[in-house]
Amino acid sequence: MALCKFKEKYFDFEKNQTELFKCDEEAEHELCPFHDKNYDSVKKSIMLDSKIKEAVEKSLPLFCIGYILSEITIKEAFSKPVYFTKASIASINVEDSNFREADFSGAIIDRQSNFINTVFLLSDFIKTVFKEGVSFKNSKFLNGVNFSGSDFQGFADFAESNLVGPIFIGTEFQKVNFSLTEIESGEFNMTKIKKNSNFIGTSILKTSFTQAKFSEMADFTGAEIKKSDFIDTQFESVNFSESSQKVIEYVRTIFKKMANFERAKMEKIEFIQSKMEGNTNFSETNLEEIGFGKTKFMNRANFTKAHISKKANFKFCEFKNVVFDDVRFKIKAEFNFAKFGNASFKGTIFEESDFSNVEFGENGVFFNSEFKKVAKFNSVLFEKPQHVIFDVKDLSMMSFLNTDISEIRFGKNVHWGEKDGFTLVDETRLESFSEQDIESLLAEYRSLRENYERRCRKEDAEKILRHEVELQKKIKVDISPIEPHILERKVDDLTRKYHELKKMMRLLEEKVQKND
């Protein structure tokens, strides 16, 4: 009897190279029973069981390359490679089995199948098609598994499994469950998950999700993620609440709808040029050494009661509507060149902060905030200053150099520093005064005085004016050489302006009384 004419290339695990498989089964026609789709399925199953038994007992490789099979049940342990490469299988049920090497690459599995409590030392499922659901629950992939290009058209269940070195490059999932799974050194690059994905309680180490796309909801609640990245990743909606994350990169990551990080613990995290297009929640999150460089928050961002330590980088960020209420910054908060639409900092505690070159486009509220060290609001633009309020008792650490504060609102009981309550921190910090320093300080005091003048706070405006006069005197002391008559003229000039201001204030008071 002639031999089967089926031939197919495959990767030989033992030779570590591509080989040509030539079927050595007897064939009545051109193909053997295993490759003949019309052969009796019952007889074929009996023959396969015998073939499996022989491979196990004699410690032989099992070649089922290109086989056309109905239902398969495997419970054996294999000491040699097993090949189901490019097989067509109705369904397969593997339970409590062990594979040294297994290759299901290019196989097509039609119905619900299971690989439960199974141990794989090394395995390939490259471009495998699972037309219905498949379960790998509680299985172990100990030395690498490759699912690249595979298509999971039903529900894929990897719950409580252990995957070391899994590769899912270009893999497509309909719906997948990795809950309570341990994933180490994984690659999910260009993976697509079309519906919900479950990573609840999952342990993820040294894994890349570069260019992965998560549709619908991706749930990472309580997950532990370390030394991993989400570069150019896209989330429809994602839940990282109560997760633990350490050394993670979110580079150009897009969060299209909800992004929830509530009560997460995050250490050494970088969000670089990412986009939060939907609502973002970092409330009660512990952020240790965090960076949001050039990240855009395009909807509501909530950081209420977050604790931020070691590093807080929000440079060049864009916020449409952000809430930092009751946030504790235990380290310098850097917001340089950020852009705010609506911003709320109620009850916020700053150890040190820098808002230099920031733009406030709409509302800016600092209510009962605390600035423990110097807070720089230098060269800030308040586009709608009448919508900005600093209702903070102690502003003795605030610097508004090169910032127009003439129209923003301050609380009634604000204390700016020193005994008179109107000494700006920039004056106390300067050891010597150059002409440029004087001009900047004068402009700062002038802007503040104009603010109080607008609000008819005559006595306070006079106190601020005295500082302007004293600063002019410092020019005489610290800037030399200067002609005495020039300095006298400048003092006379300032004194004249002071009296003019008093006159204007008196006229304004009379006008107000008359209107009353």
- Per domain, the residue ranges of the chain are 447-515
> Looking at residue 3, what is its pLDDT?
93
> Looking at residue 478, what is its pLDDT?
45
Phi, psi of 104 (to 5 degrees): -115, 20
What tens-digit pLDDT sequence spans the chain (516 residues)?
Answer: 789 999 999 999 999 999 999 999 999 889 999 999 999 999 999 999 999 999 999 999 999 999 999 999 999 999 999 999 999 999 999 999 999 999 999 999 999 999 999 999 999 999 999 999 999 999 999 999 999 999 999 999 999 999 999 999 999 999 999 999 999 999 999 999 999 999 999 999 999 999 999 999 999 999 999 999 999 999 999 999 999 999 999 999 999 999 999 999 999 999 999 999 999 999 999 999 999 999 999 999 999 999 999 999 999 999 999 999 999 999 999 999 999 999 999 999 999 999 999 999 999 999 999 999 999 999 999 999 999 999 998 999 999 999 999 999 998 888 898 878 888 888 887 655 566 777 888 888 889 999 988 888 888 888 888 888 877 776 654 444 556 656 666 666 676 666 667 667 777 677 666 666
C-alpha closest to that of 317 among 354, 292, 299: 292
Buried b (16+ CB within 10 A) or exposed e, 30-55: ebbbbbbeebeeeebeebbeebbeeb
Pairing of strands 286-291, 275-276: unpaired
Q: How many angstroms from the chain centroid is the CA of residue 188?
A: 17
> Looking at residue 477, what is its pLDDT?
46
Three-state secondary structure call for residue 161: coil
Greatest pairwise CA separation for the chain in angstroms: 124
C-alpha closest to that of 409 among 462, 371, 374, 455: 455
Q: Are 82 and 60 in contact (CB under 8 A)?
A: no
> Looking at residue 119, what is its pLDDT?
96
> Looking at residue 482, what is its pLDDT?
54
Q: Which class for 124: exposed (0-12), middle (13-18), buried (19 or more C-beta within 10 A)?
A: buried
Q: Which long-range contacts (CB under 8 A, 24 or more apart) does 425-430 make?
A: 425/374, 425/396, 425/397, 425/398, 425/399, 426/399, 426/401, 427/467, 427/471, 429/374
DSSP state of 2: P
The DSSP string of 423-477 is --HHHHH-SS--HHHHHHHHHHHHHHHHHHHHTT-HHHHHHHHHHHHHHHHHHHH
> Looking at residue 200, what is its pLDDT?
98
> Looking at residue 488, what is its pLDDT?
66
Which residue do the tokens 């429809």 mark? 236
Can you give the pTM of this predicted structure? Answer: 0.85
> Looking at residue 497, what is its pLDDT?
67
The size of the chain, in residues, is 516
